[in-house]
Amino acid sequence: METLQQIANRLKKAKQVAIFAHMRPDGDALGSALSLSCALDFLGIANEVCIETDLPSNLLFINGLDKVKKKPEKEYDLLVTLDCSDEQRLGALADEFTKAKRKIDTVNVDHHISNTKYAKFNYVRECAANCMNVALLIEYLGAPIDKTTAEYLLIGLLTDSGNFSHDDVHEETLLLAAKLVAAGADIRYYNYNLFKKQPKARAALYAMTMSGMRFFFNDRFALITITRESMKKCGADNGMTEGFVDFPLNVDTVEVAASVMEVNYRQYKISLRSKTYADVNKIAATFGGGGHVRAAGCMLFGDLEDVVDRLSYAVSQYLED
C-alpha cells in the first residue's frame, strides 16, 4: 500500500486525470470526487469526474453537478477511483478501468475494509467517510480547502457518518467537520437538505401512518402499516416511505419495529428493525427474506390482518422476557 504523500506526488505529475466513484453514488462518493476535482483545478491539473449511474434525487440540490459525466470525454493519463471497494462497483466504468489499467497508472483511495486494492497505487484506511481520506490527500497536494471544497467534503462526512451518529465517528471526524465549517461550509443547510427535507405528500403519509401505529407484547414490538389507499390519498408513492420504520423503533420500550407496506393486492413488503438484541435477519428468514441482524426484510401474502398475525407471532419468538 502507498502513502497519501506518494499518491499526491503521482497526482501532481499528471496532465489529465479521470476521477471515478462508485455506481449509484451516495454523498461520500460524490463529495470525494468533487472535492478532489476542486483541488486539482486549483493546481491547474485538468480533470473529469465520471460516475456511471444517474445521481439520486436527494443529491440533486448540490451545486456543480454539471461537472459529473457518465464517462470520460478526454484522453487521460491517470485514473483515480474514490470510495470504491472493488472494480465491479464502478458499474459500466469497470471496463474502462480495466482497459486503462493496462496502459496508465491507476490510484485507489477508499475507506472500506473490504477494498481489494485493485489499482497500482492504493490507499485504504477505514474511517467514517472516504472524504476524510480525500481531505488529507488535498492537504498533501498543497491545495487549499476553500468554501466549495469544504462543502463537498462535508456532504461526504454527513452522509456516511449518519449525521455524526455512527460507531466510527471519532475525534478526527469532528475535527475535520469543524475545519470545514471554519472554511465556510454551511452545516445547517446541508443538514436540512440531506436529512430533513421532504415533499408535502411524504409528510402527510407519515402523519397518517404514525397515527395508526400499533403495539404488541408489552410495547416491545411496534408496527406500522402503509396501504396503497393511504399512499393514494396523500399523493405519495412507495419510494417516499424510506425511514418510516425508524419512528416506531425509537419508542423507548420497543425492541423490534416493523413496517408493513402494501405493494400489490394481498402482497406486503415487510421492513424489520431491532434496537439491541433481537435478530431480525432470522425473523425475516422464517418468511424467506433476510438482511442483517438489526435490519432485514421479507414479503408476506394474504389479508392484512392475517399478515400482521403471522408477523407478530414470528417476532414474539425472538423477544426476551
Binding segment (CB under 5 A) for Mn ion, from list 87-95, 136-144, 152-160, 306-314: 152-160
CB of residue 84 to Mn ion, shortest distance in Å: 9
CB of residue 129 to Mn ion, shortest distance in Å: 6
130 touches Mn ion (CB under 5 A):
yes
28 touches Mn ion (CB under 5 A):
yes
Binding segment (CB under 5 A) for Mn ion, from list 147-155, 160-168, 197-205, 297-305: 160-168
> Under a CB-based contact definition with an 8 Å cutoff, are residues 14 and 147 in contact?
no
Task: Please name which of 125, 189, 111 lies closest in space to residue 151, comparing C-alpha atoms.
Answer: 189
160 touches Mn ion (CB under 5 A):
yes
Q: Hey, what amino acid is at 211?
A: S
Query: Which of 2, 83, 87, 255 contacts Mn ion by CB under 5 A?
Result: 83
Binding segment (CB under 5 A) for Mn ion, from list 27-35, 48-56, 62-70, 233-241: 27-35
> Under a CB-based contact definition with an 8 Å cutoff, are residues 153 and 131 in contact?
yes
CB of residue 69 to Mn ion, shortest distance in Å: 21
85 touches Mn ion (CB under 5 A):
no
Partner residues linked to 271 by β-bridges: 259, 297
Helix axes 4-12, 130-141, angle to 10 degrees: 60
Cα atoms in the Cβ-side hemisphere of radius 13 Å centred on 180: 30
* Residue carrying C-alpha cell 409528510: 203
> Under a CB-based contact definition with an 8 Å cutoff, are residues 74 and 48 in contact?
yes
**How far apart are alpha carbons 75 and 116 in whole angstroms?**
26
CB of residue 193 to Mn ion, shortest distance in Å: 18
Binding segment (CB under 5 A) for Mn ion, from list 73-81, 128-136, 259-267, 283-291: 128-136
Binding segment (CB under 5 A) for Mn ion, from list 122-130, 233-241, 298-306, 312-320: 122-130
Task: Please name which of 53, 50, 51, 101 lies closest in space to residue 73, comparing C-alpha atoms.
Answer: 50
- Between 109 and 141, name the residue whose CB sits nearer to Mn ion: 109
- Between 83 and 87, name the residue whose CB sits nearer to Mn ion: 83
Q: Hey, what amino acid is at 161?
A: S
Q: Is 102 exposed, middle or buried (0-12, 13-18, 19+ CB in 10 A)?
A: exposed
52 touches Mn ion (CB under 5 A):
no
Three cell numbers at 266?
A: 394481498
CB of residue 30 to Mn ion, shortest distance in Å: 10
173 touches Mn ion (CB under 5 A):
no
Report the interface residues with Mn ion, using CB under 5 A. 28, 83, 130, 160
